[in-house]
Amino acid sequence: MPGAAARPVSGAPPAGRAGLSAPRIDSAALGSLAGAVAAILHLAGALKSTPLGAALPVDLTLLAGGLLLPLLALLLLTRRWWLHPGLGPPLAGAALLWLWLVLAGSWSGSRAILAAKLPEVVLLAPVMLLAGLAVGADAGARRLAVGVALASGPLVAASVAVGLATGQVVLGGMAGTTAPDMLRVQYQLAGLAIACAAGLSAVRLVEAGGWPGRLLWGGLTALLAAASLLPGGRTALAALALSVLLVPALRCWSAGQPRHALGWLALAACGGAAALATLLLDDGATAGLRTLERLTQGDLESSARPALWRAALEWGAETLPWGLGTGGFTPAAGHGERRGLYPHNHALEAWAEGGLPGLLLWLLAFGGAALLLLLRCRQVAPARVARIAALALPVVLAAMVSTDLGNRMVWFALGLALSIGVMARRV
């Protein structure tokens, strides 16, 4: 009506505050940060050996673990999830394996190892597997995880090179203060971080559309390969070689380009063999390259692994069908409660300590994940398949020659592999 006072529109901001509004927090984007934190937790063992990681006032593993739980919950709540039916068997195998290991602890001959391993298997392993599933399925979280892993490789490599060159820092702490067992674990973890980054860099190389990108990613891959010769980890060097060789080929094959895949295999194999032959033929070139020194100066029998593998096979056969019990291998093999002398092979550990049920459940979980990845890799975006493979392959190889069933990296890698059967959409 003319002359009537205008009524405020319902829901409109009060006069004088039209330009003011509370900042809106994108909870879905915030949930994607779980990818970065999960990658930091995944590689925390290597990152703690860098000057930046060592300077933190709190333990990086505890910090990343504390941040991961709320961010992972937010990621799960802000997405809609679609699960492939093929996920059922490997997930059931993993869950039943955890349950069986708890039951097997009741007849274990160990106390200290059992008390340390069971919390990792029961509490940490399910969280890491869930984190791998969610991060690998969500595009934003996966992108951040890949970025962290790609940046961590050069950072760890530079820290190793500077520390060894100056003699002031060794892997795991200051020179002269690091125990041999800790030093061995630290250089293995450093090598795995470098291998993951090298696989991702090689994928970017085959994806590059022009020569500037190819030179950039090819140079980074070559530098990371050279850096892997410094720490001394032979398993990490093998993981890097397989990642650089196979993951880009998988990227091409899953994109329907088998010729490109074969071409990459031939090019990478010839280039790597030529570089390695050049170093080995020059006696002075291997000085200071600890990984090559360990390859040329000691054979496999100088390692304790073959003896541990034989012992695991024998004890598994002698204690059929139930096994020695969780954590029971080391005392039974005569090594007391020294956890570092575990079987150094996931399948053999499941066999020796979990018996026939443990081995079958392990095969269902990890073998099922490998089968699902192979069946789904032509049905999922090739870039996603390649990045998941680059993050998981080095850890999978390490699980067959090192690490035990309580290692969080292996369960995160299993989750990443299984994420190929998960689709995520923002709510």
For the chain, counts of helices (H) and of strands (E): 19, 4
Does 394 reside within a domain? Answer: yes
Q: What does the pLDDT read at residue 314?
A: 95
Write out the residue range of the structural domain in which residue 328 sits.
Answer: 30-278+304-426
Q: pTM of the full predicted structure?
A: 0.88
Our count of domains for the chain comes to 1
Q: Helix, strand, or coil here: 16? A: coil
Domain annotation covers residue 253: yes
Q: What is the pLDDT of residue 177?
A: 42
What is the mean pLDDT for each group of 10 consecutive residues in the chain (427 residues)? 48 50 69 94 88 84 94 94 95 97 93 92 95 96 96 90 65 44 65 94 94 94 88 79 95 93 94 82 63 59 80 94 94 87 92 96 96 92 96 93 90 96 92
Would 161 be classed as within a structural domain? yes
Is residue 21 in some structural domain?
no
Separation between Cα atoms, residue 201 and residue 222, nearest integer Å: 9
Residue 18 lies in a domain: no
Encoding tokens for residue 318? 């002698």
Q: Which of 176, 178, 180, 272 is nearest to 229 (CA)?
A: 272
8 A C-beta contact, residue 186 and residue 53: no
pLDDT at residue 22, as a whole number? 54
- Chain CA centroid to CA 390, Å: 9
In a domain? residue 17: no
Condensed to tens digits (0 to 9), the pLDDT of residues 389-412 reads 999 999 999 999 888 899 999 999
Contact in structure between 402 and 235 (CB atoms under 8 Å)? yes
Report how far residue 223's alpha carbon sits from residue 381's, in angstroms, rounded to the nearest whole number: 28
CB 387 within 8 A of CB 196: no
What distance in Å separates the CA atoms of residue 117 and residue 101, rounded to the nearest whole number? 10
**What's the rounded Cα separation, in Å, for the pair 302 and 318?**
26
